[in-house]
Amino acid sequence: MGGTFVLDLSAERDDLASVCFYGFPAGAAAALGATADDPPAPLTLVDRMQGPILGFWGEQDAGVGMENVEKLAAGLKGPGVDFEHTIFPGLGHGFMAASQLDPEHEAYDAACQAWTRTIEFFRTHIAD
């Protein structure tokens, strides 16, 4: 749920550089079933989100739904939010943990790319 919280937080604060791994733009409730305590769906907050935001998803993440990621990207493009994202082909939710940093695992290259890009992003956007 961390990726979803990161997206929600970007709508609440204007002083963050955020990295979202596998967030649910339509909200976790859409994938897991709603409860009264669920945070708002990021797509309902897109008009308030501020960047910079970097996001990573696996193309086969049916719970997130790549159509929802594309809606998020389109919604952030309109107001010109600094948003960059990568969708890794053939991978699902939690691909970084799934790789177990094993060079033989199918998600290893994507995990390394995502982590390297995350570090570069923070070096660029967070002052010393």
CB 100 within 8 A of CB 91: no
Q: Mean pLDDT, the chain, as a whole number?
A: 92
- pLDDT for 19 beyond 70: yes
Q: Go through the domains of the chain in sequence order and give each one's CATH number.
A: 2-125 (3.40.50.1820)
As given in the structure block, the two tokens for residue 5 are 């919280």
Query: What are the angstrom distances between the C-alpha of 45 and each of 8, 101, 108?
Result: 7, 34, 33
Give the global pTM: 0.91
Split at pLDDT 50, 70, 90, the class of 38 is: confident
Q: What percentage of the chain reaches a pLDDT higher than 70?
A: 92
As given in the structure block, the two tokens for residue 22 are 């596998």
CB 61 within 8 A of CB 92: yes
What would the pLDDT profile of 45-77 be if each residue is shown by its tens digit? Answer: 999 999 899 999 999 999 999 999 999 999 999
Where would I find the beta strands (DSSP E) of 49-110? 53-58, 83-88
- Dihedral over Cα of 83, 55, 23, 6: its sign: negative
Task: Over range 94-118, report the average pLDDT.
Answer: 96
